[in-house]
Amino acid sequence: MKSLLILVLTSLLALQTVEADQCAYIDQKESNSALEYLKIGKKYVEFCEPCGDTLFYQKKIKTIKYLEVYPVDKKQWEISLNKLSIDLAYTYIKDKGGSFKNLSKLANCESANVSIAFPATQIATITESHYIPKTNEKYQQYCNDRFGFCLDHPSILKKYFSENGDGITLQIGNLSSQSNNAFKINVYGSPHGNIDAAPHTVKGIMDSAKKRVTKITFQKQKDNWFALSGYIDSGDTIFYEKTYVGKQNSNTLMIQYPKKYKKRFDNVVNRVVASFKQGDLE
């Protein structure tokens, strides 16, 4: 029984070591190799698969602002990023192509149960203010109980429901912490009695919507809907709106996202817009 207990404790200790410290303490050669990839201003992500991390794209991208290397003893060294010690096995450095590569593999430090890299084309990333979709984005459907409209949206986005049940805001992070050029979806229904635009026609509501756009690059009008897009925030942010107009109600979809990431957002925006279905407008 005593031997079995020792075996179990030894196994747990080994598992703990794998999960906690693989390349936290490294020799000078490994340290020098790691420093070739660690520079002030470089982007990195901390991601520990042995600890239970599963979704790389939900991890925050950080910027190296402080970099320190110091000896632990005569043979071992430790690296600190932004005044916090790191384990090379759980640190991924962004390369010029946008991929994130495992630092322990780059520095030839032996590590187990960690991915070698996450290609840029497979990554959806979250920074302090931006969400950048991956190629295989997962979607959920949202349907509004009050007005009946529906649309698909990236499942990674957080949902903020309006108090009166007229719609929803979808984005990354808290509403109060988001910059104006972050990716954001607003979709809502409006009884015509609550709309400022007059008359309550497609043209009347579209003319009112144009005031939200600094520069219009596209507009289209049909019998019961209109769509327009352009730039806001001095041209840094792309804005899109589509509104269905009925006798009693209107259903509106608004999307805004950073201009510099336009190509990355094209598929997401097209999917969301194509899925937007009107509810009961009468």
Let me know: does 41 contact 64? Beta carbons within 8 Å.
yes
Q: What angle do CA 20, 58, 182 make, to 5 degrees?
A: 140
- The answer, yes or no, to whether residue 23 has pLDDT greater than 90, is yes
The band of 122, judged by pLDDT with boundaries at 50, 70 and 90, is: low
Distance CA 186, CA 265 (A): 16
Distance CA 130, CA 150 (A): 25
DSSP string, 197-228: SSS-SHHHHHHHHGGG-SEEEEEEE-SSEEEE
Question: Which residues, including other chains, have CB under 8 Å from residue 231's CB and lie 6 or more apart?
Answer: 213, 214, 215, 217, 237, 238, 239, 259
Q: Report yes or no on whether pTM surpasses 0.75.
A: no
- The answer, yes or no, to whether residue 58 has pLDDT greater than 80, is no
Query: Where do the H-state alpha helices sit in the chain?
Result: 2-20, 28-35, 103-106, 202-209, 262-275
How many residues does the structure list for the chain? 282
Lowest mean pLDDT among 109-118, 176-185, 187-196, 211-220: 176-185
The three-class DSSP label of residue 275 is: helix
Which domains does the chain carry? 23-123 (no CATH), 131-275 (3.40.1000.10)
pLDDT digits (tens, 9 = 90+) for 134-165: 777 889 999 999 999 999 999 888 888 988 89
**Mean pLDDT, residues 86-91 taken together:** 96
The band of 253, judged by pLDDT with boundaries at 50, 70 and 90, is: very high
**Mean pLDDT, residues 55-82 taken together:** 89
Q: What is the pLDDT of residue 61?
A: 85
- pLDDT more than 90, % of the chain: 54
Instruction: State the pairing for strand pair 125-126/131-132.
Output: antiparallel
